[in-house]
Every structure is written in C-alpha cells, then in structure tokens.
C-alpha cells in the first residue's frame, strides 16, 4: 500500500477549494467549518478527527450541486482503487419526496460519469441508505439504513475496466462488503473524482458532514479509534484538540530536508496561533517530551512526502476535550472566552 495515500483530504485546509483542484457551489452550501463553529449549532456533530470537516448545509433545501473536484483521483483502465471517508447525517435529515443523489462520482475528463456512490432517502420514513452504481446514479444499496447523528465509515472498492471485467464493492463501518457488483463495463478510464451533493431535490433537507477522505491502491479499512494514542499523519493536521501532552514525536522519512513542526494551536492555520511551541525535526531523528499543549497539537509536515508520528500522554491534567464529541463541543463553546484564540 502506498504511503502517503494516493490522495487524501483531512479538510484541515479551510481556504477554498480546501486542498482540492476546484469547487462548484452554486448557492453557497458547501464549506469547511472549524469545530468551534459547529459547536454553536445545537445537535451538530464534531469533526471525526482534526479541527474541521467538510459540511454541506441543506437545512433550507437546495437543488444545486455542491462539490469539490480533484484530478489526482484518476484510475487507469484495468486498475483498482479504494476510497474511504467518514459520513455524518443530522437528525433532521429528511425529505418530502423520494430522492436518490450522488456523494462521490468517478468521471471521465469530459465529465461523463463512470461510477457513483450516493444516498437514497425514503420520504415516508426519512430512512437513508447508501449505495453504489455503474454510471450516473446508485442502483444497489446496503441493506441497513444509516443511523443519523453518528459517524459512519464508508469504503468503496472500484476496478475500472473497458473490457467488461469491472467490479465495485461497498463497505459500511467495516466488516464484509454490503453490496458487490461485477462484470461492469466502463467506457473509458477515470480522470477525476467529484465529492459532494449532486442532483439533490430541493425537498431534501438537513446537514451532511464528511471527513478523512482517502483514495489508495489497497483497501484502507476504518480507523481503530477516533483519537488513537499513537497518531500517524501523512499530511499536516491535528493530533488532538484541547489540553494534553506529547510524550514523543518523530518524522518517518528517508528524504533529506523533510520536517515536522508541532504547534500549540486549535486552528488549522498555524500562523493564527499565539505562543507557538515549535519543534523542527529532520531525518530519522525524534523528540522526547513530554511537552504540554494547552489548545491542541497541530502537526505541520514539510518536504517530500513525509509522514510523522506523535505519541500522546493524556488525561493527566484534567479532561481530554477531544476524546468525545460532547467534550469537544464543550471546549468549542468555551473557545471564545479564551483571549488567545480570538
């Protein structure tokens, strides 16, 4: 398996188009809010990991597409790629008309859709199912409906084939494949991926959150823990939010000039932080702590495809605000009271 991933987006970049090639968002429903913004909305989820996540806010209903497009999501003929992302639906996600729409499309360069993953919502029950399809819209759906108000791990394996040997497999929250398709024929190779709501009805309302999007050449599987004790990052992002300590940190690389810097901040933009604690590490060197971070530990990786690992020591100094959505929301609501974070 390649590492770093063939493509990944943790949505820690909050500047449009959020680390993707482009954004299409007629109606301005797509954004990447920070956890303290989400905390101010009753019942809203927190980012699955890190300080921010992708949000599509359809609470007022909207039939426009709200998407991000990435050319690095390309799949040659007779090639398999795996996709994994985390999905959260608000408790009020509902529709007054049956609606099937896409969340992830694999397209040719001209926009022709070759494969799709999306949702189906039933108006009479507001039940939401996730499914996949060979072409424009999903046609085959997982047997179990998605619970609202919790994060789900969605994984999709796709073999692109112009010769009729294509396959797709859909996994929900790990375990065995819930949907499998075979003997599929694709007209051409995939040149781009498009993430976000596409072809929704205006009668579908609610909020969708997505986080930790990854494409790779082997199956990825769910995270074992929301915030594991040893955090390994292959792009810049947060090891944790709120007070805690780092026992040790190391950069994992064989390339000269790679760096890892640790900042005391709960903002994805390290330039906004005050009182930064900065550690620069190159080669196979490591830092031994502990070092305390009051607002959270942001890890900045620089150079050629570096990855870093930090070992956390938590719960020594009061509550660990990132360990659950409730505590993270509490910390987010209190953020405005901390002058350093204004």
Q: CATH no. for residue 121?
A: 2.60.120.200
Residue 224: inside a domain:
no
pLDDT band with cut points at 50, 70 and 90 for residue 280:
low
Q: Yes or no: say if 52 and 34 are a contact pair by the CB < 8 Å rule.
A: yes
- Residue among 52, 47, 41, 38 at smallest CA distance from 267: 52
Residues 195 and 253 in one domain: no
For residues 67 and 143, give the distance between their C-alpha atoms in angstroms, rounded to a whole number: 27
Judge if pTM exceeds 0.75. Answer: yes
Q: Is the pLDDT of residue 337 over 60?
A: no
Choice between 292 and 20, residue whose per-residue pLDDT is larger: 20
Q: Is the pLDDT of residue 47 over 70?
A: yes
Q: CATH no. for residue 327?
A: 2.60.120
Residue 1: inside a domain:
no
When pLDDT is averaged across residues 15-21 and rounded to a whole number, the result is 96
Residue 221: inside a domain:
no
- List, in order, residues 6 or more apart from 189 with CB less than 8 Å away: 74, 75, 76, 77, 79, 108, 160, 162
Question: In total, how many domains does the chain have?
Answer: 2
Q: What is the 3-state secondary structure (H, E, C) of 242-309?
A: CCEEEEEEEEECCCCCCEEEEEECCCCCHHHCCCCCCCCECCCCEEEEEEEECCEEEEEEECCCCEEE
Indicate the burial class of 217 (C-beta count within 10 angstroms; 0-12, 13-18, 19 or more). Answer: middle
Q: Which domain holds residue 141?
A: 7-216
pLDDT band with cut points at 50, 70 and 90 for residue 285:
low
Q: Is the pLDDT of residue 1 over 50?
A: no
Residues 142 and 271 in one domain: no
How far CA 339 is from CA of 272, 296, 299, in Å, comes to: 13, 15, 23
pLDDT in tens, 310-333: 877 755 444 556 667 888 888 888
Q: What percent of the chain has pLDDT over 90?
A: 62
Residue 223: inside a domain:
no
What pLDDT is recorded for position 241?
86
What pLDDT is recorded for position 211?
97
pLDDT in tens, 151-199: 999 999 999 999 999 999 999 999 899 999 999 999 999 999 999 999 9
What pLDDT is recorded for position 248?
83
How far CA 248 is from CA of 217, 285, 291, in Å, comes to: 31, 11, 8
Last-in-domain residue among 216, 246, 275:
216
Residues 80 and 27 in one domain: yes
pLDDT band with cut points at 50, 70 and 90 for residue 144:
very high
What does pLDDT average to over the chain? 88
When pLDDT is averaged across residues 242-248 and rounded to a whole number, the result is 83
What pLDDT is recorded for position 339?
46
């Amino acid at each position: 398996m390649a590492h770093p991933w063939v493509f990944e987006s943790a949505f820690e970049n909050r500047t449009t188009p959020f680390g993707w090639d482009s954004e299409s968002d007629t109606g301005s429903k797509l954004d990447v809010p920070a956890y303290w913004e989400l905390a101010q909305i009753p019942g809203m989820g927190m980012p699955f990991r890190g300080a921010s996540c992708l949000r599509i806010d359809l609470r007022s209903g909207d039939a426009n597409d709200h998407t991000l497009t990435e050319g690095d999501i390309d799949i040659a003929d007779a090639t398999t790629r795996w996709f994994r992302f985390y999905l959260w639906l608000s408790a009020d996600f509902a529709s007054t008309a049956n609606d099937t729409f896409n969340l992830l499309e694999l397209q040719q360069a001209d926009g022709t859709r070759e494969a799709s993953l999306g949702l189906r919502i039933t108006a009479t029950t507001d039940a939401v199912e996730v499914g996949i399809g060979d072409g424009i819209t999903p046609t085959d759906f997982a047997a179990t409906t998605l619970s609202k108000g919790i994060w789900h791990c969605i994984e999709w394996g796709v073999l692109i084939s112009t010769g009729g040997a294509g396959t797709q497999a859909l996994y929900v929250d790990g375990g065995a494949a819930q949907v499998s398709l075979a003997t599929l024929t694709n007209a051409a190779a995939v040149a781009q991926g498009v993430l976000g709501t596409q072809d929704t009805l205006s009668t579908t309302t609610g909020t969708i959150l997505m986080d930790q999007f990854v494409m790779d050449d082997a199956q990825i599987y769910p995270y074992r823990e929301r915030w594991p004790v040893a955090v390994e990052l292959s792009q810049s992002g947060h090891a944790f939010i709120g007070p805690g300590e780092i026992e040790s940190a190391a950069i994992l690389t064989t390339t000269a000039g790679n760096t890892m810097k640790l900042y005391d901040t709960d903002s994805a933009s390290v330039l906004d932080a005050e009182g930064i604690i900065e550690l620069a590490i190159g080669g196979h060197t490591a830092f031994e702590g502990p070092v305390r971070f009051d607002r959270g530990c942001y890890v900045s990786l620089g150079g050629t495809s570096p990855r870093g690992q930090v070992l956390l020591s938590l719960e020594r100094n009061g509550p660990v605000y990132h360990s659950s959505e409730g505590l993270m929301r509490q910390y987010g609501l209190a953020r405005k009271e901390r002058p350093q974070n204004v």
